[in-house]
Amino acid sequence: MGPRLAAVLVVLAVLAAVVGRLSGLAQDRPVVVAVVRATVQLAVVSAVLLAVVGSLWLSAAFVLLMVVVAAATAAGRATGLPLRAPGAPGRVATAALPVLAGAAPVVALVLVSGAVPLRGEAVIPIAGILIGGAMTATSLAGRRLREELTGRRGEVEAALALGLLRRDAVLEVVRPAAAGALLPALDQTRTVGLVTLPGAFVGVLLGGGSPLEAGAAQLLVLVGLLAAQGTAVWAVTELVAGGHVLPDVPR
């Protein structure tokens, strides 16, 4: 903490915004908004965590808030509809299903097994990582499926005309696209230690842990993310095939 960190963050934010402008991607304003939001949100969250980590009940409430925000974000990305559009509560509730299906079993397993201690300062980070991973997988899969169904709608309708059930017709078209949502997690796991040293590894080292402990913590996170994201993608694919996520699925 200090003026040097503040100066570095400002320079990095300006660099990202300039790149977003000069590249022609028109992402300068979104970059600035994202940086400002992240700064404010992390300041607020840091203050809140000081109050909640000492209580398991408050920690559980904070994790529930994470799920709600993750579901709202995933719903917007998957459907392409803003929260202010009609039917938002239903879309958010539906998006919460794959997020919970992916994250909840993994969080429960690591807590029940004792791999992660049942304390607020441990539960909130591991739950946040897994919920975030399930959210990302849900968002990516939902968006890919929406684009695939838009571009290949005729194929789905042809399959329906041949007598296939809607679920089978949709899955026949979208499954390969849904699998692509797992590529970031797979690549991160395959290249860990060779290309990157992710946050859990670095965090344990900075916290005074040994390299072996850091490696074990990172492996737990990576394998947990694969399980959570794989389940989330499966769940959102089935929901899309059943007509429960996207508003315009062929029947």
The model's pTM? 0.81
Residues above pLDDT 90, as percent of the chain: 16
Instruction: Dump pLDDT digits (tens) for 83-92.
Output: 888 888 888 9
In 3D space, the residue among 171, 108, 114, 102 whose CA is nearest the CA of residue 139 turns out to be 102
Question: Which structure tokens are listed for 109?
Answer: 């397993």
Q: How many residues does the chain have?
A: 251
Phi first, then psi, for residue 54 (nearest 5°) are: -80, -10
Radius of gyration of the chain, Cα coordinates, nearest whole angstrom: 20
**Mean pLDDT of the region 237-247:** 78
**Mean pLDDT of the region 37-52:** 84
Instruction: Dump pLDDT digits (tens) for 65-115.
Output: 999 999 999 888 888 888 888 888 888 998 899 999 999 999 999 888 888
Question: In angstroms, rounded to a whole number, what is the distance separating the alpha carbons of residues 44 and 54?
Answer: 17
Give me the residue spans of the domains in the chain: 1-52, 54-241
In 3D space, the residue among 123, 145, 142 whose CA is nearest the CA of residue 73 turns out to be 142
